[in-house]
Structure 1
Amino acid sequence: ADTASASSSAVSTDPNTDSMSVNLAREQGVVVHPTLGMSEPWRYRNKAQVPIGVTEGGLVGGFYARGSHRIVDMDTCLIQDERNDEVVARVKEIGRMLGISAYNEETGRGLLRHVVVKTAFRTGEMMLVLVTNGRDIPHADAWIGSIREHVPHVASICQNVNTKRTNVIFGDETRVLWGRDVIYDYIGNVQFAISARSFYQVNPVQTEVLYSKTVEYAGLTGKETVIDAYCGIGTISLFLAQHADQVYGVEIVKEAIEDARSNALLNNMRNVKFEVGASEDVIPAWKEQGITADVIVVDPPRKGCDPRLLDTILEMKPERVVYVSCNPSTLARDLRILEDGGYRTVEVQPVDMFPHTVHVESVALLVRDGIHR
């Protein structure tokens, strides 16, 4: 249903530029569909990352005040799953009771930096990650016992150690305090193992909408070879693999590829191969090995595709390119390059992945000149 919130107009960090991009696309004959929004655009986030601070009343956790690093305590966020709010509130309560100190950015002292909660919407499993400034947690057994007692759906309690003076949330070391090192969830028919540091889309309802549109635009009949650039933990790759002959995924983050391979095994999908590296380096190497793609799917970060990847796509000449974008400005820029290289943009489908924010994702279908859709 086209019931998107007010955030669903195609805007990002530069609304004027993005609006111009959409209007120009329409003038050039590209179909830009109405944004696919949520019928219930509330409580959709499956992950909470809450910074922890301290006041005279003890631990607080919530949002930073505008233009500062002063933490405003928060008990409820209307776009967070209620269970996330419940766990964060419980952790703060237990921390106050046990006298746990909060990290102080100015002094570099104090223990608890962030509370991260992940909730699997389909299975109901929950993971709690305590991000700490050091390995030692006072009263760890009491803390874990109380969390397990009051939050029965928690399947994993982890600790991430971050002792650096940085705004980055996670450090390099993660260990399990209780339970499993992953929780499990589904998007469509595909199961995913989610670890403490796995990237996983925060809006599972709209993710299924986005990925279903991606598969539709790929036009798969079961005979195609597909390359998924920027594959992450394999979410889009595994969706595509249900409908393609062979899928190749590439991602520069080693840990993400390890997760992708595990997720392929978890779903018994043997027609997927993942490789670590930059797409612009790996895909030409695949071409030299005789691997050619009928369809290339790209899902780059906000800065868009690396220019060398765009050159690689133009050299490989797949029949279709499906471009999943989180930034309309860089999408418009990259579509221009692909069109100048012999492709035609057929249509674009915006999807409101983050209701009540200015961010909208979109899926664009391009076909090579001379190829009928």
Structure 2
Amino acid sequence: MTLRLVAAPPSFSLFTCRATASTASTALPPPTPTPTPASSTPPSLPLTCALHCPHFQSCSGCTHEFNLHRPVILDDATDFFRKHGVSDFTFDTCKLWGWRCRAKLAVRGSSTEPLIGLYEEGTHNIVDIPQCKAHHPNINAAVELLRQGITELGVGPYIEDEGTGDLRYVQMAVTTHNTSLPAAERYMNGKVQITLVWNSRNENSPGSDKLNALANFLWKNGGPRSRVHLIHSVWANFQTSTNNIIFGNRWRHLLGERDFWEHVGGIDVSLAPSCFGQANTR
């Protein structure tokens, strides 16, 4: 078996925009955006604040492509607050790219050509989204590492019509609260907690050897002793239901740290992978 090292996570600058009531109502129409290669980094705050994502037309994850600093609903919100006597309403977009720190992705396709992404709107056809611009860059890097592991180990993605296969979904969650780093460096150095949703009843079911092999592959190539420390921990969830519920009731911690810390509302909170968490950590 040939092991490939995952490339260093891509880096990019994080931009924010702020729109005020006056700019929201008087801004000029955006100029025509200049297309950018799929692999390129978003330019320094383009006038259109465009998503620049190669998956936008087919992926159901994002509904707004241009003028991210001025979503359509902003005008309605501005009018609402003006009617209630608030004339200085402002809107802060926070991060325009790389803001999503929690993602649940379906795994379909084949072991030689796995598809890891979201359903096309209104269907159960998977759109592979390796270059998602909304994802924290370390999620994309972890997805690529998972893709390598599936291929190297012959892990079978789930086949809905037959109820067969090994890996149904994966949840990626990035912890950005590493107090050993300066605050300004914590976000871009976030580590990824990976949950593998396995198509079996428990860790003793047939196929558990592949689950353990995949977890070990991720840890060996993305853990603290790898060339690029990317992975915080690896968990397993066991689900055999034929409905659309992603998670089953049985969870197992496999490798890495158990505690996944975030700073929420001024306090430190440890979130289990089964807990709900906002995709945008700010």
TM-score range (shorter-chain normalised) is 0.5 to 0.7
RMSD of aligned Cα (Å) = 2.6
| Separation in 2, partners of 1:49, 1:67 | 17
The 3 A distance-change label for structure 1 pair 158 and 115 is same
Question: For 2:216, what is the secondary structure of its paired residue?
Answer: helix
Structure 1 residue 118 displacement after superposition? 0.8
Question: For 1:90, what is the secondary structure of its paired residue?
Answer: helix
Question: For 2:118, what is the secondary structure of its paired residue?
Answer: strand
**Residue in 2 that maps onto 1:52:** 107
CA contact (8 A) 1:112 1:133 kept: yes
CA contact (8 A) 1:9 1:35 kept: no
The 3 A distance-change label for structure 1 pair 180 and 118 is same
Structure 1 residue 9 displacement after superposition? 3.8
Q: Does 2:118 correspond to 1:63?
A: yes
Amino acid at match of 2:101: N
| Separation in 2, partners of 1:27, 1:187 | 32
| Separation in 1, partners of 2:175, 2:193 | 9
- Bigger shift: residues 65-74 or 77-86: 65-74
Q: Does 2:215 correspond to 1:144?
A: yes
For residues 45-87 of structure 1, give each alpha carbon's deviation from its aligned partner in whole angstroms, at most 9, with x where no partner exists: 1112110001484322112223311112221211111111111
Structure 1 residue 188 displacement after superposition? 6.8
CA contact (8 A) 1:64 1:71 kept: yes
| Separation in 1, partners of 2:263, 2:138 | 18
In terms of Rg, which structure is larger? 1
Question: For 1:107, what is the secondary structure of its paired residue?
Answer: coil
Question: For 1:138, what is the secondary structure of its paired residue?
Answer: helix
Amino acid at match of 2:192: M
Question: For 1:142, what is the secondary structure of its paired residue?
Answer: helix
For residues 200-254 of structure 1, give each alpha carbon's deviation from its aligned partner in whole angstroms, at most 9, with x where no partner exists: 22212xx3xxxxxxxxxxxxxxxxxxxxxxxxxxxxxxxxxxxxxxxxxxxxxxx
**Residue in 1 that maps onto 2:164:** 109
Give the gaps of 5 or more residues in structure 2: 1-15, 20-48, 50-66, 179-189, 224-229
1:1-373 matches, cutoff 5 A = 2-3=17-18, 6-7=67-68, 8-9=70-71, 11=73, 19=76, 23-31=79-87, 33-38=89-94, 40-55=95-110, 57-123=112-178, 124-134=190-200, 135=202, 136=205, 137-152=208-223, 153-187=230-264, 189-204=266-281, 207=282
| Separation in 1, partners of 2:212, 2:245 | 27
| Separation in 2, partners of 1:81, 1:2 | 18
The 3 A distance-change label for structure 1 pair 198 and 184 is same
CA contact (8 A) 1:158 1:176 kept: yes
| Separation in 2, partners of 1:198, 1:56 | 30
Structure 1 residue 182 displacement after superposition? 2.8
Identity %: 23
- Bigger shift: residues 95-104 or 48-57: 48-57
| Separation in 2, partners of 1:102, 1:180 | 26
Give the gaps of 5 or more residues in structure 1: 208-373
Q: Which has the higher strand share?
A: 1
* Count of paired positions: 198
| Separation in 2, partners of 1:32, 1:172 | 47
Q: Which has the higher helix share?
A: 1
The 3 A distance-change label for structure 1 pair 76 and 9 is closer
- Bigger shift: residues 116-125 or 2-11: 2-11
| Separation in 2, partners of 1:151, 1:189 | 30
Moved over 6 A (4+): none
